[in-house]
């Protein structure tokens, strides 16, 4: 094993050492599971070591969280919002160091690492306002001297299982809303980003403890599939939010539903950008570059299919190849690059195998297509011309691989967009109102995110984030997503002396 690197300043400031206990249980740090290493994808050198959670750690942690939920649910929602506001302040104080850690451990370029922490800060701000707006309704009753209304109460505990590509932001989408709604949080971070899990937990629990609240309100575990399965099976956790592949998500959903729990699924994407014949080509090319190459293609909202009207096909392709050629490979000394490494050596191997499958199905490589010789997990951003009927087009290869295809009519393009099992994000580039509104309507895109003249990625927190079909159907972050984290009761109050029944029923 490589020796652990000397702890740098940004790690020390976040309380990260050479070896770290990987779970926060009932207000204290521990870990009695496996010893794992956190690795920098840009050079595959060890950053630090972490002792993961065992099942015994899990059992004790969730019981402590369950007891803490009895305290947290009693705290008024605006007061809960004040705690989340303080979490946002603490994240602001650690923005640069935390962003640098996230960039180093996940493999994002520095601006994306800092941007991800900023997204959690923004979610804190959003949740603070929401804490005073968890409103029910007063519903007109058909019976005299009766009032109907809705009451919203906490679920108790929300389980959050996050993926490596957004090791902090997705936690923020869920935890900020869950906390102001009166729920405790049990979090299992990705096994390959344990330092992000530890750093985030230290920031949140410090705020809780400073306010004389149980640290167990926010309970976290670094661990593998056995911890995730324990969360899925635990009847003390009414809602499980899972982010990951459709295959694993389906298994989690089955386990949770078997115990009549609720799921919030954010699964695979296979997103398309449609380029109409009236599109602004310069704007389109810039958008496609960010959407297809950003985060090395490891976003669920990455553009994987580019559908171009046949009349401008070559013009768009030529300009796209020019900007691809200009893209710099990221390293810690290059701050203006876009292309980061893949997260693990296995990801790099999957890219190489995926290219061979693509070629076997008739894919023609127009740019890239190879791994890059280096210590890190770098691959070339790749453009491939392929038939929309090739089976591989319906699958998600989590790498910077872009399929390009021609179309003749808008209806044909929409059909191609909707032809894959996934349904997360989609975008069209056009100037025509009639095209835009057909795209947004019932016979347009079947995705949860439907954009016009912007990329498939880069969603704002104010809108509900999520997709349809094999993407899972969940919604996180803004709009009315908060309702998934609460229990709704329809309440009827009779303030009169008679007992009239609904629908005019009379039992005499």
Adjacent-strand bridge partners of 438 = none
CB environment 62-79: b (16+ within 10 A), e (fewer): bebbbebbeebbebebee
Q: Are 148 and 490 in contact (CB under 8 A)?
A: yes
Query: From CA 491, how far away is CA 488, in angstroms rounded?
Result: 10
Q: Are 311 and 266 in contact (CB under 8 A)?
A: no
- Phi, psi values for residue 237, rounded to 5°: -115, 95
Query: What is the three-class DSSP state of 374?
Result: coil
Q: Exactly one of 266, 327, 349, 460 is catalytic; name it.
A: 266
Q: Are 193 and 272 in contact (CB under 8 A)?
A: no
Residue 421 backbone class (left: φ over 0; alpha: ψ -120 to 50; beta: rest): alpha
Residues sharing a CB contact under 8 Å with residue 341, sequence separation 6 or more, in sequence order: 41, 42, 107, 296, 330, 376, 377, 378
Q: Is 266 a catalytic residue?
A: yes
Query: From CA 216, how far away is CA 208, in angstroms rounded?
Result: 9
CB environment 392-422: b (16+ within 10 A), e (fewer): bbebbbbbbbbbbbbbeebeebbebbbebeb
- Phi, psi values for residue 388, rounded to 5°: -65, -15
Adjacent-strand bridge partners of 167 = none
Distance of CA 181 to the CA centre of its chain: 20
**Residues with catalytic roles:** 266
């Amino acid at each position: 094993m490589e020796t652990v690197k000397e702890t740098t300043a940004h790690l020390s400031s976040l309380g990260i050492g050479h070896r770290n206990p990987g779970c926060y249980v009932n207000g204290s740090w521990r870990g009695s599971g496996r010893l794992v290493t956190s690795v920098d994808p840009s050079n595959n050198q060890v950053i630090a070591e972490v002792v993961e959670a065992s099942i015994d750690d899990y059992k004790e942690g969730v019981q402590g969280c369950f007891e803490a939920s009895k305290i947290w649910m009693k705290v008024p929602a605006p007061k809960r919002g004040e705690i989340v506001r303080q979490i946002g302040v603490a994240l602001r104080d650690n923005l640069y160091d935390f962003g640098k850690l996230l960039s180093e451990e996940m493999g994002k370029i520095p601006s994306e690492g800092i941007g991800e922490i900023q997204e959690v800060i923004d979610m804190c701000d959003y949740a603070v306002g929401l804490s005073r707006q968890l409103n029910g309704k007063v519903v007109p009753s058909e019976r005299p001297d009766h009032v109907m209304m809705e009451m919203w109460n906490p679920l108790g505990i929300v389980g959050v299982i996050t993926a490596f590509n957004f090791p902090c932001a997705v936690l923020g989408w869920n935890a900020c809303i869950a906390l102001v709604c009166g729920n405790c949080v049990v979090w299992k971070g990705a096994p390959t980003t344990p330092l992000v899990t530890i750093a985030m937990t230290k920031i949140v629990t410090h705020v809780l403890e400073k306010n004389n609240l149980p640290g167990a309100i926010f309970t976290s575990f670094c661990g593998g599939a056995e911890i995730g399965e324990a969360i899925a099976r635990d009847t003390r956790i009414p809602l499980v939010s899972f982010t990951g592949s459709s295959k694993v998500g389906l298994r989690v959903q089955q386990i949770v539903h078997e115990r009549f729990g609720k799921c919030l699924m954010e699964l695979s994407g296979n997103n398309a950008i449609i380029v109409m014949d009236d599109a602004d080509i310069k704007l389109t090319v810039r958008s496609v570059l960010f959407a297809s190459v950003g985060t090395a293609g490891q976003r669920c909202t990455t553009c994987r299919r580019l559908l171009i009207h046949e009349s401008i096909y070559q013009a768009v392709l030529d300009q796209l190849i020019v900007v691809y050629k200009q893209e710099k490979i990221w390293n810690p000394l290059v701050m203006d690059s876009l292309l980061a490494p893949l997260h693990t050596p296995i990801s790099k191997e999957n890219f190489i195998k995926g290219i061979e499958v693509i070629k076997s199905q008739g894919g023609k490589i127009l740019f890239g297509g190879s791994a890059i010789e280096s210590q890190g997990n770098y691959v070339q951003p790749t453009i491939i011309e392929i038939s929309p009927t090739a089976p591989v087009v319906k699958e998600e290869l989590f790498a910077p691989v872009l399929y390009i295809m021609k179309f003749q009519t808008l209806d044909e393009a929409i059909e191609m967009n909707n032809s894959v099992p996934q349904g997360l994000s989609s975008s069209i580039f056009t100037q025509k109102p009639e095209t835009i509104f057909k795209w947004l309507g019932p016979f347009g895109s079947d995705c949860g995110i439907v954009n016009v003249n912007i990329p498939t990625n880069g969603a704002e927190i104010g809108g509900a984030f999520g997709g349809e079909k094999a993407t899972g159907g969940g919604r996180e972050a803004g709009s009315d997503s908060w309702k998934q984290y609460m229990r709704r009761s329809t309440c009827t109050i009779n303030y009169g002396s008679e007992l009239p029944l609904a629908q005019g029923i009379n039992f005499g």
